Chains A and B, each alone.
Chain A
């Protein structure tokens, strides 16, 4: 049975996931449109999922893939609630610029 990691190597996947995660962090810090920040959070979640699948293949164990399945369920729940909050914010402020969300400041 062929295995992809014999030809590519786990370290390439580690570098790819690290870069993808850093791009997600960069997006959250750089943009101030709340929807694009949400997309950056999705990119970060995907980087982690990719690394989980890579190590599940590395250890030849199904648990990593089951964990990715749960993390997808959490991501779907998070996006549904987050977008509902954004719609509520937009209704009251007429934009979703995060610089306007300062009312919770202590």
Chain B
């Protein structure tokens, strides 16, 4: 039952990721990417990581994809005007994809797990309560620096998108 669910979710994830790359229209790419993100949130729910599933939907499907869709509409890119890449580039992209996938998969198939017998300790480690305690005790300083990073990126985005032309 769970295995079937895993295979269905994985098929959706991989298929929508491929469709993101192969659709000519950037708006279609964005919509397929939203589907891909939702299926990954489904994977998180299967791990019983509720907090991450919710944050993933909010951040990726809610914030990042809306930002991308707004940029696509702002630049008026919702048409298929991409010129074809040269055949050489396409063939080398396909070859490098196959090689990377082959090497990584071969390495992982040959690997043996350290723990052969997997036991569940029964301890609660991923509820929102435990995650909050770990985040604010152990990872307090990185948490504060993440807020500084977001502030800096916000200021940077505002500065970069101010109207200013390069003098040629």
B146 contacts A70, C-beta separation under 8 Å? yes
Which A-chain residue is minimally distant from B122 (CB atoms)?
A: A1
Taken together as a complex, chains A and B put the C-alpha atoms of A36 and B26 apart, in Å, by: 7
Q: For residue B89, which residues in chain A have a CB less than 8 angstroms away from its CB? A: 29
- The size class of the interface chain B forms with chain A is 35 or more
Instruction: Type the 1/0 row for B43-79, where 1 means its CB is closer than 8 Å to any CB of A.
Output: 1101111011001100110011001100110110100
Among candidates A30, A75, A91, residue contacting B163 with C-beta atoms closer than 8 Å: A91
Q: How many residues of A contact B (CB 8 A)?
A: 74
Taken together as a complex, chains A and B put the C-alpha atoms of A92 and B134 apart, in Å, by: 46
Instruction: Type the 1/0 row for B84-102, where 1 means its CB is closer than 8 Å to any CB of A.
Output: 0100011011101100110
Taken together as a complex, chains A and B put the C-alpha atoms of A70 and B153 apart, in Å, by: 15
Known A30-B90, A75-B64: A92·B149 in contact at CB below 8 Å: no
* Min C-beta distance of A96 to chain B, whole Å: 7
Taken together as a complex, chains A and B put the C-alpha atoms of A40 and B32 apart, in Å, by: 12
Which A-chain residue is minimally distant from B36 (CB atoms)?
A: A43
Among candidates A7, A32, A46, A66, residue contacting B82 with C-beta atoms closer than 8 Å: A32
* Min C-beta distance of A95 to chain B, whole Å: 8
Q: For residue B18, which residues in chain A have a CB less than 8 angstroms away from its CB? A: 23
* Min C-beta distance of A38 to chain B, whole Å: 7
Taken together as a complex, chains A and B put the C-alpha atoms of A70 and B55 apart, in Å, by: 11
Q: For residue A75, which residues in chain B have a CB less than 8 angstroms away from its CB? A: 59-60, 64
Q: For residue B118, which residues in chain A have a CB less than 8 angstroms away from its CB? A: 3, 5-6, 58
Instruction: Type the 1/0 row for A76-106, where 1 means its CB is closer than 8 Å to any CB of B.
Output: 1111110111111011100011000000000
Q: For residue A72, which residues in chain B have a CB less than 8 angstroms away from its CB? A: 55-56, 59-60
Which B-chain residue is minimally distant from A6 (CB atoms)?
A: B118
Taken together as a complex, chains A and B put the C-alpha atoms of A37 and B21 apart, in Å, by: 8
B residues sitting closer than 8 Å to A (CB atoms) are 2-3, 6, 10, 13-14, 17-18, 20-21, 26, 29-30, 33, 36-37, 40, 43-44, 46-49, 51-52, 55-56, 59-60, 63-64, 67-68, 71-72, 74-75, 77, 82-83, 85, 89-90, 92-94, 96-97, 100-101, 104-105, 108, 113, 118, 120-123, 125-126, 130-131, 134-135, 138-139, 142, 146, 149-150, 152-154, 156-158, 160-161, 163-166
Supplied contacts A49-B40, A69-B52, A83-B71, 14 more A-B pairs, CB within 8 Å: A18-B104, A23-B97, A24-B17, A29-B97, A39-B30, A50-B43, A57-B48, A60-B120, A65-B51, A70-B146, A83-B157, A84-B157, A96-B75, A97-B83
**Can you report 5 A-B residue pairs in the complex whose CB atoms are below 8 A from each other?**
A23-B21, A30-B94, A35-B71, A66-B139, A80-B154
